[in-house]
Amino acid sequence: MTRTIDAQTSHGPVSFHYCISTPTNDDSDSVDAALPTVLFLHPAYIASSIFHPQFADPTLRRFNLVSLDLLSHGRTQGAVPAVYTEREAAEDVNAFMDALKLPACTVFALSMGTIIALRLALSFPEKVNGLFLVSPLGAPEPEDAANGRRQVFEVWKEAYASEIVDQEALSDSVFGGLQLCWNSQNFGFANALTTITFPQCQSHWPPANFPAFESTTVTFFTSRKGEVYSSEELDKLRKVPIVLAPCSDDIAYPPEYFESFARQLEGGRVTKYTLKGAPHYGSATHWEAVDPVLANFVLEQWKGASVPAAPEAGSVASPFETMLREAGWTGNESDDSDD
Domains assigned to the chain: 3-141+226-327 (3.40.50.1820), 144-219 (no CATH)
Kindly state the DSSP code that residue 79 receives in the 8-state scheme.
P
Cα 323 to Cα 82, 115, 189, 202, distances in angstroms: 33, 28, 11, 18
CB 69 within 8 A of CB 50: no
CB 294 within 8 A of CB 54: yes
- The pLDDT tens digits along the chain (339 residues) read 569 999 999 999 999 999 999 999 999 999 999 999 999 999 999 999 999 999 999 999 999 999 999 999 999 999 999 999 999 999 999 999 999 999 999 999 999 999 999 999 999 999 999 999 999 999 999 999 999 999 999 999 999 999 999 999 999 998 888 888 998 888 999 999 999 999 999 999 999 999 999 999 999 999 998 889 999 999 999 999 999 999 999 999 999 999 999 999 999 999 999 999 999 999 999 999 999 999 999 999 999 999 999 998 889 999 999 999 999 999 875 444 443
Whole-prediction pTM value? 0.96
Give the span between the Cα atoms of 132 and 91, in whole angstroms: 19
- Total Cβ atoms within 10 A of residue 256: 9
pLDDT at 331: 87
Q: 37-41 and 128-134: which strand pairing?
A: unpaired
Most distant CA atoms of the chain, gap in Å? 61
pLDDT at 336: 45
pLDDT at 204: 96
- DSSP secondary structure string, 95-108? HHHHHHT---EEEE
